Amino acid sequence: MLVNLKDIIAMAESGNYCIPAFNVYNMETVMGVLKAAEETKAPIIMQVYPRLMKEETGYFLSPVILAAAAKASVPVCFHLDHGPSTLETTRCLRYGATGIMLDGSTLPLEENIALTKSVVDTCKYVNVQVEGELGHIGTTKDSEFDEFTSPESAKYFVEQTGVTCLAVAVGTAHGKYTKPPKLDIERIKEIRKATNNTALVLHGGSGVPDEEIKKAVAAGVRKMNFATDICYAFLDCCLEELQNPERSVAIDNFMKKPIDAVKDFCISRIKLVGADGKAE
């Protein structure tokens, strides 16, 4: 069933685990993620890059996500990832999203607050909640990380904006890591404490060592994003299949293995963050 961001985060909060948020790109990745959630009886978030909302893809992909959520026996939230402006956030709401991220992390603090709050206020009218970002989470290609999120500014940001969850910079990055990242677990605990236990979000979950992920969840991370490794699971399998002389050229049959590759990856992450069996 389709649920909003507030309700799915509340499940994680009361059960002391984390909701995995998987980026989806096409119908096949939606099918793989849904299969994983159903098999493990896990509540999950399906999220889309903002560029999909700017381009035509969002128009076609959104109904696929909504169809998957309607069919699901587990809670599914349809979320926008890294919305940079009200163009993407409004369009994604129009297409049926039940969670919105507004990423103003590259703006000065007060501008980030003003933009995030305006999106929180709009989303309220349709019972949708917002994820904000404070402390910019860069990419693995950056030569150095920006400053990590400070607990004091996180407290101020959450109070001023009314976000439901907050993405924080604590050592992760987007993309493929060249060496395993080390997370600032103490900082996660401090931010939780300072923000009256606001649900924290970890971006760049692909490639973070399992032990670090477990510690982050125990410290209060309630949503963890996986995007890069979904792409690799899907595309590596496609490339392998192309070498297979027995492969089917009928696209629907060809896609069966890549769909299962996405499913297998998602199942491993669902179990790692403790979401398996939580939708029973």
Binding site for Zn ion (CB under 5 A): 203
By C-beta, is 48 or 123 nearer to Zn ion?
A: 48
CA-to-CA distance for 187 and 156, rounded, in angstroms?
16
Q: How far is the CB of 252 from Zn ion (least distance, A)?
A: 31
By C-beta, is 4 or 206 nearer to Zn ion?
A: 206
HSE toward the beta carbon, residue 85, CA cutoff 13 A: 4
By C-beta, is 146 or 260 nearer to Zn ion?
A: 146
Q: How far is the CB of 23 from Zn ion (least distance, A)?
A: 9
Work out whether the CA dihedral 178, 105, 230, 214 comes out positive or negative.
positive
Q: Which of 7, 81, 142, 236 is catalytic?
A: 81
By C-beta, is 147 or 280 nearer to Zn ion?
A: 147
Integer angstrom CA distances of residue 117 from 31, 96, 156? 34, 20, 12
Question: Do strands 19-23 and 165-168 pair parallel, antiparallel, or not at all (unpaired)?
Answer: unpaired
The DSSP result for 153-217, as a single string, is HHHHHHHHH--SEEEE-SS--BS--SS-----HHHHHHHHHHTTSPEEEE---TT--HHHHHHHH
Q: How far is the CB of 103 from Zn ion (least distance, A)?
A: 8
Work out whether the CA dihedral 103, 275, 148, 138 comes out positive or negative.
negative
By C-beta, is 58 or 138 nearer to Zn ion?
A: 138
Cβ contacts of residue 182 below 8 Å, gap of 6+? 171, 212
Residue nearest to Zn ion (CB): 203
Chain-centre distance for alpha carbon 195: 21
Q: How far is the CB of 145 from Zn ion (least distance, A)?
A: 14
Q: How far is the CB of 186 from Zn ion (least distance, A)?
A: 22
Q: Is 81 in the active site?
A: yes
Report the catalytic residues: 81
